[in-house]
A and B are shown apart, each in its own frame.
Chain A
């Protein structure tokens, strides 16, 4: 374990939250992280534990069972979960931010009262479905159709790459209510797993983030009552956009958690592994590696934490939300790459955590928006202020 990092002065509450999450994740998740990866199955008992610890509703008001804290708190929690297992943290983020926080931001009082308590306690699992096989970065081109028939909507089509898809009880799903209206023809729905005609594929076999269950969602004449529209009809893109900045910032914590995990593995190895009669950490090339890894971790933390604080003040900008996740994700991939390199042949073995972390880190540059889309967003936002 690597503990020699500077104190970011985040306050007593956040420090206590980090301590608690760190201990729990190191005790309960880290020992099974390799098995989660190998079996490609999420340990569902963790949901209830996370619920009991109050991790599932960090940004939710107390009246719905939440902790009523902010995005900085959420970033710290997801970082410490990711430090133990990135795949668990991805499922955790899909539940607690993508689903729960979207309900908090956009749900009616009735919808919040109906869905949030079960999600916050961990009795229900949440997901959010945006992407389709033919609509990834170009999300507005989605094809899932929602037709109004009498007193309800009828959904037909599919969603793809949906985190927690096979397990989720409550899903936020975007569909086209008016295929000719472009971005104004999309509506957000709250879907329950038990609705007739809803099914999921078996979970996918992925390069990394294994055990964070991902699947295709299949809608065959799924009837959804009007009261399950999240926001307003035709305003789905507004719902989607309302959460994206917060999603980017929260998921940045997975990147910092991956980097922290790399140092946790590499530092003791450099002290213990001997070549040429001395610990390899004595060699300057190795010291250069850890210097770069440490710099990447703490510069990412500094940026991510500041953007999260801006979220809590209600001052976040789209370019900073996109830039912090772009940076933390690409640095995480680089650091994971160097972690494998630092550990040489040992790092290349599947039983060492860094090889798993290396595969997991790749998702950070692809999922929840590719690096290309994030760069495009930052550049476009910056130029928009000049013309």
Chain B
């Protein structure tokens, strides 16, 4: 079985996010970028499937700017066998929307014929949580989202999902799309020898045009703003004072 793992290059989770002065988005110039942490968990799971003899090949794919090849090199250093870069934007501020990503991925799937697609449940930049589901609809494949456990059993997969109030276990028919949650595994650190070996692994470069997909945005971002700063608290002397203050603030 071949496992396809779509990975996204996002702003590093350690970076303090800054909104651009014109409110059109987040400032990404000269900012440290990394692989979306949920995608990293997906890569790890794919490599574990390969190590367990349940998968033969792990292919990582990324759609975005050319610099996303660094993200793919990370996936290769972790243990993916080869990578596909689909260049669809030349400005780091141009985010490709989930539907366009899903359409390109559907074409990649057509070419690659994987038995399983493992991807992060969402990217930490825009928190859309949509690509996996859209891809499932486009392909007509089964989906198991928010996976915290995955067990491949012949032509079906048992997926434990993290849902409100507990865990739900479902069985889906393969080929399937599984979007992964935080607790599925702990990704490995790429070792130095593997970082060096990753440079020699194949990385194919394509463009969105190669797949005939229009990546023009369909959504218009009206405004991006910083979270409102929390106002400082005050100490109240009595219950009466508290009630008075709450009334004053229109809260009761």
- Residues of A at the B interface (CB closer than 8 Å) are 1, 3, 7, 12-13, 15-17, 19-20, 23-24, 52-55, 58, 62, 67-69
Contacts and interface: CB of A to CB of B under 8 A. Distances in A.
Contact of A54 (B30, B74, B191): B191
A16 B195 contact: yes
Contacts of A52: 191
Contact of A53 (B12, B14, B192): B192
Given A1-B14, A12-B70, A12-B73, A17 B32 contact: no
B109 interface: no
Interface residues of B, number: 20
Interface of B: 12, 14-16, 30, 32, 34, 70, 73-74, 77, 189-196, 199
Given A13-B196, A52-B191, A58-B192, 20 more contacts: A3-B12, A3-B15, A3-B32, A12-B70, A16-B70, A16-B73, A17-B192, A19-B34, A20-B77, A20-B191, A23-B189, A53-B189, A53-B191, A53-B192, A54-B191, A54-B192, A54-B195, A67-B193, A69-B192, A69-B196
A20 B77 CA distance: 10
A13 B194 CA distance: 11
A20 B189 contact: yes
Contact residues of A: prevailing secondary structure: helix
Nearest to B30: A7
Given A12-B73, A24-B189, A3 B14 contact: yes
A16 B193 contact: no
A19 B193 CA distance: 14
Contacts of B194: 54
Given A3-B32, A7-B30, A67-B196, A16 B14 contact: no
Contacts of A3: 12, 14-16, 32
Nearest to A277: B232
B203 to A, nearest CB: 12
Given A3-B32, A12-B70, A12-B73, A20 B195 contact: yes
A350 to B, nearest CB: 27
B196 A20 contact: no
Contacts of A23: 189
A53 B15 CA distance: 25
Contacts of B190: 16, 20
